[in-house]
Amino acid sequence: MTNLPGKGVISVDIVVYEGFKALEAIGPMSVFNYANHHLERLGLSGRYDVRVSAVHAGEIRSDTHMSLCATKTLDLGALPHTAIIVGAREIEDALAAAPEIVEWVRAASHQLVRTVALCSGAFFLAAAGLLDGKRATTHWALAPLLGTRHPAVIVDPDCIFVREDKLWTSAGVTAGIDLALALVEEDFGRNLALEVARDLVVYLKRPGGQSQFSVHLSSQQSQHPGIRGLQDWVFANLDKRISVADMAQFMVTSPRNFARVFQRETGMSPMVFVEQARVEAARRALEDGTLPIKTIAMQVGFRSYEPMRKAFLKWLNVSPQAYRSRFGSTLASHTPEEREERSSGVNG
């Protein structure tokens, strides 16, 4: 932390409205609060001045029993350095109830140093036209809706957060903490951001994207009756060897025609679907059970650990062992078989 230049006061407005997600507001506020603590401890001049802002001042109810008191109203004459618009569970209702936020951010964005949207807050930026032609992310479950409602936005459904010049967007809920840490790193350096991350017991940069948290194949289920039936058959037979020829035989068509129709209906090749289906089945087994990882690899059709490890790194950017450590039952990592696998280095 030596030779860190003082930045002065960086004003941050947390923009809320009725039904906002409480954690998305409190998480970044805590990041900035801890940052201020360390800046003061180190005798540095910089600090964050964080205000809660809304269309009207006063108590604003969140999606929990907690409310926040907005001490500042949206005012083009008193803009902050950084504006952070939080998300809501019912984002379309929130947009309809608070069109003033869309108008404010449209008018204010060119004067703000940073405009940030957390989770479904990206819909406010998209409605204002700020994300047209730009990459953005949101909660994985809302990414298809964002793309449908605003086709000019380049939606990246896997990123934890995305920066496009002055515009920042984040994935769901706790990803707002990741983004806030990135702001601290930009403002005051990596060492300070790392100190805050340690305080909060979170990654400074968490491994993997939000596909780790989503049901990866949910959006790939076809509405075509024949293809849907074939997909169900694949799910039921993952332990067996499955080829394009096998799937074409199930569909009673040629492999070439089958591959063409499958790609058209699902947006992916048949063998990519099979691999993702195996990853999905392995994920559920890692989350819910205590079977050794090598056994799971056999049961879902990978045949051995190494192909499953490569598939996990390809689609989720984590190893199976890291996935189980993060999302599995607390019992899973304490089985004798799992300890043996870890000690042998098979899960690296």
Q: Which sequence positions are flagged as catalytic?
A: 119
3-state secondary structure of 65: coil
What CA–CA distance (Å, rounded) separates 61 from 286? 38
Q: How far apart are CA 344 and CA 330, in angstroms?
A: 21
> What are the angstrom distances between the C-alpha of 224 and each of 8, 140, 262?
59, 24, 9
What is the C-alpha separation between 239 and 303, in angstroms, rounded? Answer: 8
| Residue whose tokens read 């799971």 | 296
Residues 254 and 293: their CA atoms lie apart, in Å, by 36
Provide CB contacts within 8 A for 241, sequence distance 6+: 301
DSSP lists the bridge partners of residue 11 as 49
Cα–Cα distance, 86 to 109 (Å, whole number)? 16
Q: Identify the three-state secondary structure at position 128.
A: coil
Region label for 109, one of left (φ > 0), alpha (ψ between -120 and 50) or beta (otherwise)? alpha
